[in-house]
């Protein structure tokens, strides 16, 4: 079996995947959302301390399988340095003690491989990745052949949902809250700008939309002055503009890409309104749409393990003493993952 570990942000998770069959034998996850909610977002130092407690507890649940583990896969980039270190140090200690190879995993590659949990790998694909930290479109031809076609110039989709929820005086994480409010709101009440609507640039930018929401909140008297209907309508109007932006820029790429398979992955891909819009876009261009099960959209060790299987088969392993954490790297169009 392959042991996999994920700790790039605020979710502690481990998984065991059978190497030969790709069967997910064990998957455990502890979310820190409740602890961070009181601060309105993730506090890195708090997240690190929680990982230090939760990861060993999760690993203990895999003890009956320790003798069957043949390799360890762990997220080592990108993410918060203090949280990545918790998972990497545990992986290095376990691998060194058991004399096992380590598979370093890029977190975003893990999201792509969430499509293939307990399934064969199916590539090439055009991948639309929308998460708390990233918004991008990639052309994925193989395990080590992933090119970024478009990325965000500022805020990601997930980050924008969280910030809008915070400005409205709502809880954390903001994505599910805004999505739920939007279902009951009038998306046409507030005319919000669609970012880069008249720009030929194929990229994503949500800081201007977020600022437009802030101005509306001020006009309504701030979070305290807003009625429940105000919140519903503003959530719906914000989501409408965001999706219009996401689809407009995605359309420009899909129109010229010959690859027939398109995937939507990342934590924000669990948003059903976003899913529906991307599905409609794919239908328009005759593309086959692929999504991960909802339980594997957010950060999890099962997706890290699934990428780890293919990386292990390709010999992409390192010795424990050679594994390093790479917390951040500016990702731009034209770059390879």
31's enclosing H/E stretch is strand 24-31
Sheet order of strands, 102-106 included:
24-31, 11-17, 2-6, 71-77, 102-106
Query: What CA–CA distance (Å, rounded) separates 312 from 2?
Result: 9
Hey, which residues does 30 pair with through a beta bridge?
Answer: 12
DSSP string for 235-291: HHHHHHHHHHHHHHHHHHHHTT----EEEEESGGGG-HHHHHHHHHHHHHTTPEEEE
179 is in an annotated binding site: yes
233 is in an annotated binding site: no
Closest CA to 290 of 118, 125, 120, 106: 125
Place of tokens 């270190």: 85
130 is in an annotated binding site: yes
24's enclosing H/E stretch is strand 24-31
**Alpha-helix runs per DSSP H in 38-194:** 44-61, 81-98, 107-113, 157-167, 174-182
Cα torsion 227, 230, 231, 233: sign: positive
271 is in an annotated binding site: yes
245 is in an annotated binding site: no
Query: What CA–CA distance (Å, rounded) separates 209 from 104?
Result: 36
162 is in an annotated binding site: yes
- 216, exposed or middle or buried, with CB in 10 Å at 0-12, 13-18, 19+? buried
79 is in an annotated binding site: no
Tokens of 272: 């059903």
305 is in an annotated binding site: no
261 is in an annotated binding site: no
* Alpha-carbon distances, residue 53 vs 8, 66, 87 (angstroms): 15, 20, 11
232's enclosing H/E stretch is helix 228-254
142 is in an annotated binding site: no
Residues at the binding site for Fe cation are 107, 111, 299
Residues at the binding site are 107, 111, 129-133, 162, 175, 179, 271, 299
Residues at the binding site for substrate are 129-133, 162, 175, 179, 271
């Amino acid at each position: 079996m392959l042991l996999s570990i994920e700790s790039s942000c605020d979710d502690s998770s481990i998984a065991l995947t059978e190497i030969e069959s790709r069967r997910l034998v064990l998957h455990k996850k502890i979310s820190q959302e409740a602890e961070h909610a009181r601060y309105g977002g993730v506090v890195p130092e708090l997240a690190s301390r929680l990982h230090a407690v939760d990861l060993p507890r999760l690993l203990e649940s895999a003890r009956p399988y320790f003798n069957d583990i043949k390799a360890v896969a762990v997220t080592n980039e990108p993410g918060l340095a203090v949280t990545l270190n918790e998972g990497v140090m545990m992986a290095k200690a376990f691998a060194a003690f058991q004399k096992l190879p380590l598979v370093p995993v890029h977190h975003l590659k893990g999201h792509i491989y969430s499509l293939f949990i307990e399934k064969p790998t199916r590539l090439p694909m055009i991948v639309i990745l929308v998460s708390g930290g990233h918004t991008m479109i990639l052309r994925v031809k193989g395990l080590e052949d992933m090119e970024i076609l478009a990325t965000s110039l500022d805020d990601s989709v997930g980050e924008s949902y969280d910030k809008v929820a915070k400005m409205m005086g709502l809880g954390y994480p903001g994505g599910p809250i805004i999505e739920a409010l939007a279902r009951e709101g009038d998306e046409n009440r507030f005319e919000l700008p669609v970012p880069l609507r008249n720009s030929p640039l194929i990229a994503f930018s949500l800081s201007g939309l977020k600022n437009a929401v802030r101005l509306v909140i001020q006009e309504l008297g701030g979070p305290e002055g807003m009625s429940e209907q105000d919140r519903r309508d503003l959530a719906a109007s914000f989501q409408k503009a965001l999706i219009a932006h996401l689809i407009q820029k995605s359309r420009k790429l899909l129109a010229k890409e010959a690859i027939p398979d398109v995937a939507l992955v990342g934590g924000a891909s669990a948003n059903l309104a976003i899913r529906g819009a991307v599905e409609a876009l794919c239908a328009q261009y005759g593309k086959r749409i692929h999504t991960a099960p909802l339980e594997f959209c957010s950060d999890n060790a099962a997706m890290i393990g699934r990428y780890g299987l293919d990386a292990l088969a390709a010999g992409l392993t390192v010795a424990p003493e050679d594994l390093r954490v790479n917390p951040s790297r500016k990702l731009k169009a034209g770059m390879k993952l």
